Structure 1
Amino acid sequence: MKLTVGEGGTAEGRFLPGTVSFMIARPHAAPSLSGVADLLAQDADERPAQAGPGVLADGTTQFVAQLAVPGAQHIGMSTSGGPMLRHVVAMAMSSFATLVADGEGGFLVRQGGPIGLWDTVEEAISMWRNAGAPPQTEFGLTVTPDRQRVWLGSPEGPFWELPARPLPPGRIRVG
């Protein structure tokens, strides 16, 4: 990424060619997954998934998913030799999404907590695909003293506000 520094502590620029993955701005350990089993056992809504866990394997699509839910972690687990389950968990927001094969070539998503994590991921991926699935060089970043915004196309285009500090529960915003 190449940023041009502006007045008042601002900077802006586009992502450079190559594979970009989301990285936390401040060095610190990933959030603890202590209590994830209790979180995943909570009541949840289930529906057919529009996008399966394969979207998390592609570099640009994974980047878009991480922009949509910056406080979440992707983990894979199986229990007692059962099928591999893919989870997206945001412990600080007490939210989770679990993707399970539906036996017919698709996936079901089971979501719980105050934030529909997979709904948010699917919305962001759909917006990116509707824009023609552009490469990461079409994304840019605007930084001010109190915010970080990743945008697609131009600073006025679709954008994602990233936390400049840890977000309190329920503060994910997609513009």
Structure 2
Amino acid sequence: MRRARHRVANIAHLVDGHLLFALRVSHPHIVITVDRRGVAPRVDLRDADRRSARVEPSDSGSISIDGDGQDLWGMLRSGHQLWRERGRPEQWDFGMTVTRHAQTVWAGSQDNGQYTG
């Protein structure tokens, strides 16, 4: 199993319910499970190809990522960036427009365009 360490200021943002909702919208193929038990949260990631990664804080102030799906963490980082760029919308700010040909998820207003990662 591969292991990587990444320096981050705080892993606690991963338990923000509004961010988790936004990540699940922008990256619906990634299953995100947060374990809030213990001193710091632990996050398990999994995709349809059965790749997985466990993200948890280490004593050195970095996070440890174990598993064969370490790129899933990179995808979620881009989703976090999108969430910040869009003004950190709350889950109540999301909407969906459905037509006969497509469905589009947006945040804030349809005029803001599709919300994708």
TM-score, length-normalised on structure 2?
A: 0.67
Q: Say whether residues 1:72 and 2:27 are aligned partners.
A: no
CA contact (8 A) 2:23 2:80 kept: yes
1:63 deviation in Å? Answer: 0.3
In 2, the alpha carbon distance for the partners of 1:84 and 1:130 equals 24
The answer to which structure has the higher helix fraction is: 2
Distance 1:159 1:49, change over 3 A: farther
Distance 1:100 1:69, change over 3 A: same
Please show how residues 96-111 of structure 1 align to structure 2 within 5 Å.
Answer: 96-110=52-66
CA contact (8 A) 1:49 1:106 kept: yes
Q: Say whether residues 1:144 and 2:102 are aligned partners.
A: no
In 2, the alpha carbon distance for the partners of 1:149 and 1:45 equals 37
Indicate the residue corresponding to 1:94 in structure 2.
50
Indicate the residue corresponding to 1:48 in structure 2.
6
What runs of 5+ residues in structure 2 fail to find an aligned partner? none
Indicate the residue corresponding to 2:80 in structure 1.
125
**Partner amino acid, structure 2, of 1:97:** A
Indicate the residue corresponding to 1:61 in structure 2.
19
Distance 1:127 1:141, change over 3 A: same
In 2, the alpha carbon distance for the partners of 1:47 and 1:59 equals 25
In 2, the alpha carbon distance for the partners of 1:103 and 1:142 equals 45
TM-score, length-normalised on structure 1?
A: 0.49
> Between the two proteins, what is the percent identity of the paired residues?
25
Indicate the residue corresponding to 1:135 in structure 2.
90
What runs of 5+ residues in structure 1 fail to find an aligned partner? 1-40, 78-82, 161-173
SS of 2:20's equivalent in the other structure is helix
Runs of 4+ in 1 over 6 A off after TM superposition: none
CA contact (8 A) 1:111 1:117 kept: no
Question: RMSD value over aligned CA atoms?
Answer: 3.2
1:47 deviation in Å? Answer: 4.1
In 1, the alpha carbon distance for the partners of 2:62 and 2:29 equals 26
Indicate the residue corresponding to 1:153 in structure 2.
108
